[in-house]
Each structure stands twice: as structure tokens, then as C-alpha cells.
């Protein structure tokens, strides 16, 4: 009897210990979920006024707004520097990204504005503007600032990026990135994402940003069993109305998706500024609502939008178009030397002379027409310098391509 009594006491003691441990684990788990959830929550935001709820089985759109900051206060712009519209289809298990340029022109009661500038009136104003332009309801919102993005990248151990052209933009940061594959930490990634003095200018920057986002999502949602730990380590770096359960559900099927499997599309368009003369932040990006509608229609039909990125543009045959060269600097003879060099390389140069002003701080390759990007790329590849811009509005020239030599000019080699 004493032995049975002792056995019962031991059994009861073990049961009590098990219950205590279970309660502790449960409380700890709930505390973990609660702390992560509270860190993620949107703070001081009116986003809920513009978000439209959906049923759990319906596809939805989420807007991701990222601030990249700047190396100096005068270079900072209002509002987010990256805007990504994500389409999530939980039934079909598809995830796609569309880059909305922050300088996109939208029409408001006060006239034409950069869409990013509307964030100064609140998150709801920004969400509503993007929703109206894309003609879709937006159900979720994610926002990240400069320090948050840097922290996320560093916590993930960096992001492996294939650098397709030299990144050396003093306005973007003091990091020099040569061509090749590198693991970018938070600081170098910010320089990479801010850089605009690229072969195709802003289009190349937008390509870099959306491709980087896909790589970041791939690493964040990787199927290595450490997602909960990663999420806990970065939960203070971003804010969202998405619940912890929503994010975990995303990871369930995104974990096996590679960056190359995420459709990434940049809204086509052009800048309105007269670039190259002075650095300006009031340029508007003119994007077509018809192009946006076509992108959305493709995504909703399960297709990849047929929009060629600037990195995929193939250079045209040098002899198939005409080129005029103008000297936009005080470097004597720069236009003539460049014209002769282009002729020697097989280009059809029809004129050379001085620009109306010798104040250009970078070499511009101005194009027009649908074949312009491929022609501009051929010239840039030959010269080794230059930034392609659309010249349909602000530049008058009779040739197919206008090259304006800037102070970054170097003798052709």
C-alpha cells in the first residue's frame, strides 16, 4: 500500500510538472507571438482608412513603401523612395511585384504631384493614390525606413547580388561596387539601391530595386526552419497591418520560391525634367495608365507581364540610325573627337557642334521613339559613358540620337 501510494504521488508530481512546463511553453509562445505582433503593428498611421479587406480565399494587393534616405539632407526627397505593389494569390500560390516609380505623376486637386509626395499627408493618401492609378483595391500596407532596411539586410546576413554595371555614384553613397556577384550588407545595399548615374538612368535603378526586393524575399522566407527566429530578429525594423498569422501563411508557400520565380515588372515611362544641367528633385515620371492596366490584367490572368526591362534591351546596329553630337561643356573639341570616334566605330554621325549651354554635368544620350532605348544603349556601350533619357518633350533634334557631352567626358579609347 505504501508503494502504491508513493507511485501515485510520483505520478501526480510528474503530471503537475508536465502541466507547468506546458503552461510555461504556451505562455512563452503566446508572449513571443504577442511581442512580434506588437512590434510589427503600424504606428501613427492612418493606413486603415484606405485599405480594403478581402476574404481569406481571394487574391489581394499589398503596397510596400521603403525610404532609402540620402547621404546628405539636401539630397533627401519627400516620401518613400521605393514603391512596390505586390499581388498575392493564396489559392494559386503566386506572388508578383510591380515597381511604381515614386516620382510617378498623379493628378490631385492641387495639380500634378509626385505620388511619393502624397505620403506627407498620411499613409492613406499614398495608398489611395496608388490604388486609383492601378485601379485595384489595396488590402495591406508595409512600410520600412532607411535604418529598418539596413537592419533587415544585416540580420539576414546580407543579400547576394549580381552587379551588372559599376556602381559609383557620390550622391548615393561612398561605396564602390564593380561588376560581379557580391554579398551586400545594409550600407552597401543602400548605395546600390540609391544609385541613378547608370547606363539607362532611372529605369536601371528601378530594375535594381525590384530585383533586389525579390532576392530579399527569397532569403527572408527561405525553407531552412529558422523563419520564426528571423522574423523575431527583424520585427522592429518594419511596420505592417499584416498579422503574424498572415506572414506565416505567406512563408508556407513562398519558402520554396526562388527570386527568379517571382514575376517583377517596372511600370514603363520617362522623366519630364531637363536632366544633366542641374540636379533636380521635382521631376515627374510619366507612366501610362494603359500600361498599368495591361500589367494588372496579365497578373490577374496568371501571366507574366510582357514589359522589357532596361537590362534586357539589346543594342541596335550602329549603322541603322543617325547620331548628332553636341558639346555641353567648356572642353574644347569634345564634340568633334567624340563624333570622329563614333564614325570609326560604324555609327552614322550626321552632325557635331556646341550645345546651347555648356553647363551639363553628365553626358546624355537622348533618344526618341520606340526603338530609342536600343539605339541609346549601342551609343553608351561604345562611349563607355552616358545616360539614356527620353527626349520627346524637352529636346529638339532631327537625328535619331542626340549625344550631349557633359563634364564626365573622357577621350574615347
Q: Domain for residue 34, yes or no? A: yes
pLDDT of residue 278: 41
Q: Residues 389, 242: one domain?
A: no
**Helix-then-strand count for the chain, H and E:** 10, 17
Residues (pLDDT < 50) of the chain are 25, 27-37, 275-280
Starting at the earlier edge strand, list the strands of the sheet with 401-405: 348-354, 322-327, 401-405, 364-367, 387-390
Domain with residue 99: its CATH number is 3.40.630.190
Q: Residues 200, 298: one domain?
A: yes
Contact 387, 362 (CB under 8 A): yes
Question: Within its chain, how far is the Cα of 355 from the centroid?
Answer: 34
pLDDT of residue 214: 96
Q: Residues 258, 351: one domain?
A: no
Helix, strand, coil fractions of the chain, as percent rounded to 5: 40, 20, 40
Give ∠ CA 319-323-328 in degrees, rounded to 5.
Answer: 150
CA distances from 31 to 24, 36, 91, 239 (A): 10, 8, 31, 19
Q: Residues 24, 68: one domain?
A: no
- The three cell numbers of residue 10 are 510520483
Contact 394, 274 (CB under 8 A): yes
Q: Domain for residue 412, yes or no? A: no
Domain with residue 390: its CATH number is 3.30.70.2390
Q: Residues 209, 82: one domain?
A: yes
Q: Domain for residue 411, yes or no? A: no
Q: What is the residue range of 355's domain?
A: 318-405
Q: Domain for residue 410, yes or no? A: no
pLDDT of residue 31: 45
* Measured distance CA(37)–CA(205) in Å, rounded: 33
Contact 358, 331 (CB under 8 A): no
Rama region for 186: left / alpha / beta (φ>0; ψ in -120 to 50; rest): alpha
Q: Domain for residue 178, yes or no? A: yes
Q: Residues 230, 210: one domain?
A: yes
pLDDT of residue 277: 47
Q: Residues 322, 307: one domain?
A: no
Q: Domain for residue 52, yes or no? A: yes
Contact 396, 334 (CB under 8 A): no
Q: Domain for residue 79, yes or no? A: yes
Q: Residues 222, 346: one domain?
A: no
When divided into structural domains, the chain yields a total of 3
Q: Residues 5, 146: one domain?
A: no
Q: Residues 151, 292: one domain?
A: yes
Q: What are phi and psi of 270, to 5 degrees?
A: -150, 160
Q: What are phi and psi of 57, to 5 degrees?
A: -100, 5
Q: Residues 107, 193: one domain?
A: yes
pLDDT of residue 256: 87
In sequence order, the 6+-apart residues with CB closer than 8 A to the CB of 77 are 70, 102, 116, 281
Contact 207, 309 (CB under 8 A): yes
Q: Residues 7, 100: one domain?
A: no
Q: Domain for residue 296, yes or no? A: yes
Amino acid at each position: 500500500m505504501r508503494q502504491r501510494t508513493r507511485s501515485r504521488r510520483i505520478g501526480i508530481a510528474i503530471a503537475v510538472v508536465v502541466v507547468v512546463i506546458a503552461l510555461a511553453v504556451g505562455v512563452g509562445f503566446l508572449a513571443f507571438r504577442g511581442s512580434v505582433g506588437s512590434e510589427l503593428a503600424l504606428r501613427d498611421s492612418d493606413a486603415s482608412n484606405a485599405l480594403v479587406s478581402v476574404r481569406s480565399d481571394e487574391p489581394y494587393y499589398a503596397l510596400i513603401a521603403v525610404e532609402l534616405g540620402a547621404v546628405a539632407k539636401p539630397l533627401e526627397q519627400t516620401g518613400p523612395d521605393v514603391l512596390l505593389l505586390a499581388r498575392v494569390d493564396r489559392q494559386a500560390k503566386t506572388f508578383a511585384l510591380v515597381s511604381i516609380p515614386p516620382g510617378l505623376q498623379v493628378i490631385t486637386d492641387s495639380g500634378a504631384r509626385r505620388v511619393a509626395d502624397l505620403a506627407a499627408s498620411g499613409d492613406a493618401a499614398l495608398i489611395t493614390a496608388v490604388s486609383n492609378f492601378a485601379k485595384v483595391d489595396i488590402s495591406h500596407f508595409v512600410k520600412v525606413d532607411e535604418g529598418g532596411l539596413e537592419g533587415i539586410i544585416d540580420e539576414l546576413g546580407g543579400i547576394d547580388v549580381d552587379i551588372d554595371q559599376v556602381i559609383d555614384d557620390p550622391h548615393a553613397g561612398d561605396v564602390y561596387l564593380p561588376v560581379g556577384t557580391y554579398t551586400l550588407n545594409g550600407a552597401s545595399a543602400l548605395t546600390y539601391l540609391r544609385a541613378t548615374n547608370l547606363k539607362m538612368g532611372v529605369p536601371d535603378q528601378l530594375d535594381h530595386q525590384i530585383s533586389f526586393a525579390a532576392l530579399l524575399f527569397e532569403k527572408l522566407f527561405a525553407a531552412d526552419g529558422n523563419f520564426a527566429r528571423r522574423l523575431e530578429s527583424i520585427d522592429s525594423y518594419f511596420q505592417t497591418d499584416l498579422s503574424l498569422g498572415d506572414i506565416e501563411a505567406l512563408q508556407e508557400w513562398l519558402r520554396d520560391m526562388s527570386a527568379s520565380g517571382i514575376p517583377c515588372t517596372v511600370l514603363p515611362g520617362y522623366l519630364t525634367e531637363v536632366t544633366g544641367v542641374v540636379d533636380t528633385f521635382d521631376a515627374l515620371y510619366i507612366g501610362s495608365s494603359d500600361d498599368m492596366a495591361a500589367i494588372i490584367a496579365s497578373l490577374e490572368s496568371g501571366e507574366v507581364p510582357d514589359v522589357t526591362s532596361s537590362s534586357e534591351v539589346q543594342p541596335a546596329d550602329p549603322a541603322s540610325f543617325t547620331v548628332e553630337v553636341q558639346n555641353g561643356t567648356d572642353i574644347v573639341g569634345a564634340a568633334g573627337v567624340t563624333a570622329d570616334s563614333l564614325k570609326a566605330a560604324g555609327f552614322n554621325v550626321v552632325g557635331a557642334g556646341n550645345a546651347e549651354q555648356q553647363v551639363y554635368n553628365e553626358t546624355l544620350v537622348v533618344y526618341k521613339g520606340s526603338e530609342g532605348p536600343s539605339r541609346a544603349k549601342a551609343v553608351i556601350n561604345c562611349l563607355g559613358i552616358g545616360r539614356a533619357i527620353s527626349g520627346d518633350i524637352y529636346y529638339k533634334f532631327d537625328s535619331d540620337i542626340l549625344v550631349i557631352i557633359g563634364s564626365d567626358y573622357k577621350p574615347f579609347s
